[in-house]
A and B are shown apart, each in its own frame.
Chain A
């Protein structure tokens, strides 16, 4: 809900807001490949996508992003143009993410690969690219490949937050593919290995839910 005065004015006089429940209106969410939530997509009157914003943002930043998009700032096309100026791995990562969220896997992977190939394959940016890679498979429900990627990241990026995040993502993948026993043991391993992590509470709540989940209704 946009209860901010600026947002109310903006969506009354400037742009039109449509709020779509992605699980109920699957035709629309599939049409735009909206798989991560929240996702806000700027479209023209003919329904053509200009660009999208994935995740939460403060109201002012949210509105500015869409105004910028109408001026060609920050769009995929804009970023691709900038990428021609020279090697910029951070920019490559942004481009890859845009392709990923649009469901254009091959393009996303090509740009994630550029991030890795144009720098230290084990530095932070490469870690982000690798995690995004795995994340793409997870969202596409290719759980076997997602698990394989997360397991590699855990080993190769040891003692970094990527390794830590790769463990909890493995637990989430196990949960998503209804492997309750593996999910519980992986969440438990996460808590034991990273007791200081801010996600410990989440892991504990997941374990509690999974232990109370009847096998017949496991999701």
Chain B
């Protein structure tokens, strides 16, 4: 019985570990030669910014 409990506990721990080790969502960074790099998602841009670094948010439309 004790072995069974340990087995179940280990299985649960392994499952939790597998879930938490999912790769992070790719950032919305766009890079290409000859163009300034930019993010298409503000949350991503703010997340990668250093504490003292500023972000320029350029709003545009297709008009």
Contacts and interface: CB of A to CB of B under 8 A. Distances in A.
Interface of A: 1-4, 7-8, 10-12, 15-23, 25, 28-29, 32, 34, 37-47, 50, 66, 70
Contacts, number: 124
B57 interface: yes
Contacts of B10: none
Interface in B20-63: 30, 34-42, 44-46, 48-63
Contact of B38 (A11, A25, A66): A11
Nearest to A9: B36
Contact of A22 (B44, B49, B56, B61): B61
A20 B42 CA distance: 7
B59 A38 contact: yes
A119 B18 CA distance: 71
B36 A41 contact: no
Contacts of A11: 36-38, 56
Contacts of A43: 46, 54-57
B56 A41 contact: yes
A1 B48 CA distance: 21
Given A16-B49, A38-B58, A28 B42 contact: yes
Given A1-B36, A8-B34, A10-B36, 16 more contacts: A15-B55, A16-B45, A16-B48, A16-B55, A18-B39, A18-B55, A19-B38, A21-B60, A21-B62, A23-B61, A28-B59, A32-B57, A40-B57, A44-B55, A45-B49, A46-B46
B34 A3 contact: yes
Nearest to A4: B36
B30 to A, nearest CB: 8
Nearest 9 interchain pairs by C-beta? A2-B36, A18-B45, A11-B36, A34-B59, A17-B38, A22-B59, A45-B49, A8-B36, A18-B39
B58 A20 contact: yes
Contacts of A41: 56-57, 59
Contact of A16 (B34, B51, B54): B54
Given A11-B36, A17-B37, A18-B39, A29 B59 contact: yes
Contacts of B45: 16-18
A25 B59 CA distance: 9
B36 A18 contact: no
Contacts of B51: 45
A44 B51 CA distance: 8
A82 to B, nearest CB: 23
B60 A22 contact: yes
